[in-house]
Structure 1
């Protein structure tokens, strides 16, 4: 049984992402759009639109056309949105690369996406050079400049004519982030202009940003959560997005205080710091009205602890809540509305702290028993299925994985188990999929297992996530079968993996076993490993 959103449908303009996101800012060109949280540098809405036009023109002058992929590998800066929207305005597809990736991981994404140009920053150049030895690209642009490479200044100073692109928003891709989906190795998630426009529009009735909002952007723009919810949502309603290159608690708190941040979109590890770290008491956070958590499950008690502490310390009415989504959903499918923005008939503040809130407008949900395929009743557990304009076009060059995730009727099978109450509030309680959630990132066991088996002294391996008590996060744990005669130690395995994968994918715990339990079909029996500890 399809459960429609309790919110009325919203209009989804049939336009490109830059046209939609930059429209409101054109009405207030002198207002700040992007602010460097550490340096204080400002890009106004008027400047943003002009810079986007020049980046698009420079890319067209290089021969890039609609559908060509441009990879972007850099941390959050006020210039990230300039480049993203410039790529999009040129009709090209931006493929964001995780700032923590190793050369091998970068090379895989460049090769798989077919990127023609890579835009990066000088501190990342060593990793980029190592990556392109394995997967060459046509050009490397170094935003802050490096000998032998074009810079962002070069792009912005072009006198090339403005790019003229005939957009078909429902079909044309705008971004190609990589996700492990519900299982397996990373796959390119094909998101269209309509997907991203729809998702910003869908969030509007629940997250009612005003023109005077200041949003702190510490979650990375290379993550779809940062790209849609922080960057595009903030700019679309003519607010100011204040960027930080990485999470440092003192910088984070100081930026909230100095820039009078009104909203923070975070992941649970940041809320853990806000709830428990003594440094929090040294800063005035009273400008905050809302903290919304996503990317990983938020413990109910942690949400309450953070909210109570901030309300007491700052004498403010800040609320702490959470939403839900995934890259394949652009990413938001459910969220907790602002106080007073509840759907018709729902009481003010009626979303329980452990809930991810209501389904966004223009969407439908089903809860399906994975064992029987039958729809679950209200209050019963079922895999969450979602259908709506924010559902991805599919996985790049992977029709089989696409068909496993999106069925013939357009339902995206999330792999997460949820319940819905009589008010239409959803709570995620478990998952079918095998992904490990660590610090808001998805970690695919299959990817880590493939790297482990590449070690000459490892005969077989399996990886699961084990809960870390205080934060509620999962730590990647490897079960390793040594090759005959091997004296491999836990430290050896941990060190080996640390050199092969990004920090959030590192193995934290190692256990040596005689054999990896598998089904007759050869599938790893992770439930047995979890039961064994």
Structure 2
């Protein structure tokens, strides 16, 4: 068995304690309490580290004690509470306050439709939901779909109105976060010492390729272990006051881990942005002297193509960490040329992780020399490259990445079969991604064994869209694949559907258009079939009935090339 180890020095065993204890007790004295923790880029609101600790302990007390006194459902240790919010100053308070209360927090995409939210709520058996005022209507529609009365919904909704002016217009008769936070404070957080650190504290949903999204169980121990392994990989700042621009969604594991939790541990202030556009991004860099940010490839492409970078002072920027999807060499080269032309000394580095674990980060010193690499294996992790036959591949050959280490997830919620298929008895997590490693220990992603489509960093499960398409009364079969858009630097979901009866060419086009509108009304924006819909006679399948996606991908590639050739002649 060939086991690769990290080139970084191993750290001492991580403390077996709660994530909150790790951040606000064990490492509390690492940084000055009066320094900013989070800054709202859209308002003058700032919350210091000390204020963050106070606010989260107040919320923890409110959730465990005051919520039920005000008519809400009682919440006890281990109960699941969903957070449904866009990026805002509310988010870190809600997340860390819920963890301090000993609750299990499930992060819901702010792009969820009522249907999406209903599935997650039901699957994780949530008892309550902390919802931002701007998304209250979606939560109420979810409860309607579940035949839960408005009176009962009010017992389960906590309006996440912390530092939110909009809440005054929508509060009505709902229990508000601000109300339950002003009734007292926990003297200390709920403890999870020793074996109790193996209890689940975070439930993130990772879309699967063979069914509905799966709840990924992250324990206190796995989160502490993951965070504890990061410092040896972190770049060294030139600035004495580093600040991160927090614009990746906080409900995504990249936002929750790398922006909210890691930056609190690191002592860096996070400037919160609720969304991305090139001008706002660059203005925030200039205004707040941003040193670093987590991004996804479409953001990088927009920065390269838009003139905003030359219209603002970007010289404070030291690095951008690109994650959630692969970064092409051509885009990296274009970024390098742009920042060099502007006299900005900023690196563009890649990392690698999944909802289930983290593992790799490229040192900033190597961002040009090792372009395309995801970097070095993190401290305390082990890796293997395994062939389809289950044997370790020869050095230099590609293989499926198996990881073992302190940050690996516990399992998939209520899905023993999927957990056993992904985690071996001796603790190896089968990532489903094909990687290589060079003689210097630098890793690169070659392909995804998994069939997930990644649209601008969002995960889109083909099986989920196929299941929806089969609900259409005129569709008898469907297959969904991703096609690469060079213009948008992302994958686009593309569907192949079989009509219940033969259609002529003109009718096929009209039907495809109608199906697109039908799907758009039922899915979140990132799940829309932006890659097109094609009516075919049959979906290629194996004898066992499995969709042969490679054939569909090859067909899509030929169709896209043909369309480009026709367009170029016009």
Q: TM-score, normalised by structure 1?
A: 0.94
Match of 2:350 in 1: 322
Single out whichever of 131-140 and 142-151 deviates more from structure 2.
131-140
**2:198 is aligned with 1:171:** yes
Match of 2:64 in 1: 60
**2:512 is aligned with 1:490:** yes
**2: CA distance, partners of 1:64 / 1:262:** 40
**2:423 is aligned with 1:431:** no
Match of 2:5 in 1: 4
Match of 1:32 in 2: 36
**2:99 is aligned with 1:71:** no
| Per-residue CA distance 1:436-476 (angstroms, 9 max, x = gap) | 11101111100000011111111110000011123442110
| Per-residue CA distance 1:24-67 (angstroms, 9 max, x = gap) | 45541211110001223100011000001001111111332221
Identify the match of residue 245 of structure 1 among 254, 265, 274. Answer: 274
After TM superposition, give the deviation of residue 304 of structure 1 in Å.
2.2
Match of 2:484 in 1: 467
After TM superposition, give the deviation of residue 311 of structure 1 in Å.
3.1
| Per-residue CA distance 1:207-251 (angstroms, 9 max, x = gap) | 146672201100011000000011111111221011011112221
- Partner-residue secondary structure (3-state), 1:531: helix
**1: CA distance, partners of 2:544 / 2:224:** 42
Asked whether the 8 Å contact 2:94–2:160 carries over to 1, the reply is: no
| Per-residue CA distance 1:272-295 (angstroms, 9 max, x = gap) | 011111222111111011111000
Larger C-alpha radius of gyration, 1 or 2?
2
**2:92 is aligned with 1:91:** no
After TM superposition, give the deviation of residue 404 of structure 1 in Å.
1.3
Asked whether the 8 Å contact 2:114–2:139 carries over to 1, the reply is: yes
After TM superposition, give the deviation of residue 406 of structure 1 in Å.
1.1
* Structure 2: gaps of 5 or more residues: 69-73, 162-166, 557-570
Match of 1:215 in 2: 244
Correspondence 1:357-396 to 2 at 5 A: 357-370=375-388, 372-396=389-413
**2:313 is aligned with 1:284:** yes
| Per-residue CA distance 1:343-366 (angstroms, 9 max, x = gap) | xxxxx6686110000111111111
Single out whichever of 443-452 and 231-240 deviates more from structure 2.
231-240
Match of 2:471 in 1: 454
Change (3 A) 1:131 1:74: same
* Structure 1: gaps of 5 or more residues: 340-347
Change (3 A) 1:188 1:209: farther
Change (3 A) 1:527 1:485: closer
After TM superposition, give the deviation of residue 10 of structure 1 in Å.
1.6
- Partner-residue secondary structure (3-state), 1:87: helix
Normalized per residue, the structure richer in helix is: 2
- Partner-residue secondary structure (3-state), 1:22: helix
Asked whether the 8 Å contact 2:84–2:110 carries over to 1, the reply is: yes
After TM superposition, give the deviation of residue 78 of structure 1 in Å.
1.8
- Partner-residue secondary structure (3-state), 1:14: coil
Match of 2:545 in 1: 522
Number of paired residues? 521
**1: CA distance, partners of 2:495 / 2:212:** 17
**2: CA distance, partners of 1:75 / 1:36:** 13
Change (3 A) 1:256 1:419: same
**1: CA distance, partners of 2:422 / 2:209:** 8
Q: TM-score, normalised by structure 2?
A: 0.88
After TM superposition, give the deviation of residue 259 of structure 1 in Å.
0.3
Change (3 A) 1:201 1:308: farther
Match of 1:154 in 2: 179
Asked whether the 8 Å contact 2:39–2:270 carries over to 1, the reply is: yes
Asked whether the 8 Å contact 1:209–1:237 carries over to 2, the reply is: no
**2:294 is aligned with 1:268:** no
